Structure 1
Amino acid sequence: MSTNRSHQTSTESGTPPALDVTQLRRAFGEFSTGVTVVTYRDDDGNPRGATMNSFTSVSMDPPLALISVARSARACAGLQSRPFTVNILSANQLDIALAFAGKPIDGLSVPWHDTASAPPRILGSTAWLHCDPWQTYDGGDHVLIVGQIRRYDARRLDPLTFHRGEFRRPGLKLLQLPRTVAFDGRPAAEWVDRVHRLHAIADAGITDDPLDI
């Protein structure tokens, strides 16, 4: 009863219970993300960057993307009101991710692509987006910066990922899920999906490509 009364008192007073920051960070860490390095020019025109995994698409019309920058980071002041590039790192760019996260590797040479007409970007990334500043929002201990995408490119490379506080690379591709379900809602047997795939190939005509079903 005492526990229940305490809960009611806290709720009625409008004071939320205190959160365990360590546990909250652990909960956030269960969401796997890609890894980016956001690059820009400093006041002297030199290329700079910061590793971030807080990045998301926002809108297609207009084309917008959002990054979340810690207020304590040097990049926070440098990125506001400046064009920037979101470099989505490939799996073989772990050294780049570490370098821009404040853990430089001896002998590392950053492969910059730097022209006067656009913010700097990093060669070898799986994708990149040149952005102009569009809007900035208060995000507590972070600043939310929305950029309007002006140019972009992508390649079919395995991305670098981040999960449970560790850098990773993607594992095996999951099998394609069945396209039909039983009447009770359960997935149909695996052979049903194979028949569907074989039927789709037959409908499309004979092909010289090997059949892998």
Structure 2
Amino acid sequence: MTTMRAPDKTRRLRTVLGEFSTGVTVVTYRDADGQPRGATMNSFTSVSMDPPLVLVSVARQARACAGLADNEFTVNVLAANQLDVALHFAGKPRNGPISWHEPESGPPRLTGVAAWLQCRPWRTYDGGDHVLVLGRVECHDARRLEPLIFHRGEFRRSGLKLLQLPRTVNFDGTAAGVWVGRVHELHALSDAGNSGEPLDI
């Protein structure tokens, strides 16, 4: 049995995790001098509705890690046409200025985004080489824009909207729920290794 080296294990884990598609956010805040700052992050999730909490995972070595310590922040969910904005806050500056919205109070946010959530600090937790930052949502808004997607290490646009399974039909108009279930069984057998027994479809 060949032992996998640590860099290979990390690379493999990153590949596996990359199969989980996410949206793309830029988390914005003010630095110690009051200047607007931001960092591109795709490790973002809803945590609680009561109280309303969200979480971002920040690399310990990132400047944003210190910038978010006990600091208000805004999670900006990027629209599909904001790839240049995502790259800018990931360390590849765009040509031209960034369009900021600076409210009378609270952290700055970006314009043209699909959604935003303004947060005040709630808790931080040890997350290994990352810090898990929870914020309590104070205000928010959204627009019906196509989101920017991150999958397999690449930025993408979302695909076609799938019909809900109970409404899926065959070409002749009959319900296809059973057929869809059998396809799922075939995929499961393929992943696990077929025992050789025929599948009754």
What range describes the TM-score normalised by the shorter chain of this pair?
Answer: 0.7 to 0.9
Corresponding residue for residue 141 of structure 1: 129
What count of residue pairs does the alignment treat as equivalent? 173
Q: How far does residue 173 in structure 1 lie from its aligned partner after superposition?
A: 1.7
Letter paired with 2:114: T
- 1:47 corresponds in structure 2 to 36
- 2: CA distance, partners of 1:145 / 1:127: 19
Please, what is the CA RMSD of the aligned residues? 2.1
Q: Is the 8 A contact 1:177 1:193 kept in 2?
A: no
1:101 is the counterpart of 2:101: no
Contact 1:178 1:189 in 2 (8 A): no
Partner of 1:203: none
| Gap regions ≥5 residues in structure 2 | 177-201
Larger Rg: 1
Which secondary structure state, in structure 2, belongs to the residue aligned with residue 20 of structure 1?
A: helix
What letter corresponds to residue 156 of structure 1 in structure 2? Answer: R
Return the alpha-carbon distance in structure 2 between the equivalents of residues 71 and 100 of structure 1. Answer: 16
1:202 maps to none
Q: Which runs of 5+ in 1 are unaligned?
A: 4-16, 180-186, 195-213
* Structure 1 residues 25-64: aligned runs within 5 Å: 25-64=14-53
CA separation in 2, counterparts of 1:193 and 1:125? 39
State the percentage of identical aligned residues. 67
Match of 2:57 in 1: 68
Cα distance in structure 2, aligned partners of 1:27 and 1:40:
31
Give the equivalent residue in structure 2 for 1:170.
Answer: 158
Is 1:23 aligned with 2:17?
no
4+ aligned runs moved over 2 Å, structure 1: 175-179, 187-190
Residue matched to 1:12: none
> Shift of residue 188 of structure 1?
6.3
Q: Does 1:88 align with 2:77?
A: yes
| Partner in structure 1 of residue 149 of structure 2 | 161
| CA displacement, residues 145-164 of structure 1 (integer Å, 9 cap, x when unaligned) | 00000000011000000001
Report the alpha carbon displacement of residue 177 of structure 1 after superposing the two structures with TM: 2.2
Matches of 2:67 and 2:148 in 1, distance apart? 25
Whole-Å separation in 2 of the counterparts to 1:75 and 1:147: 14
The residue type paired with residue 67 of structure 1 is V
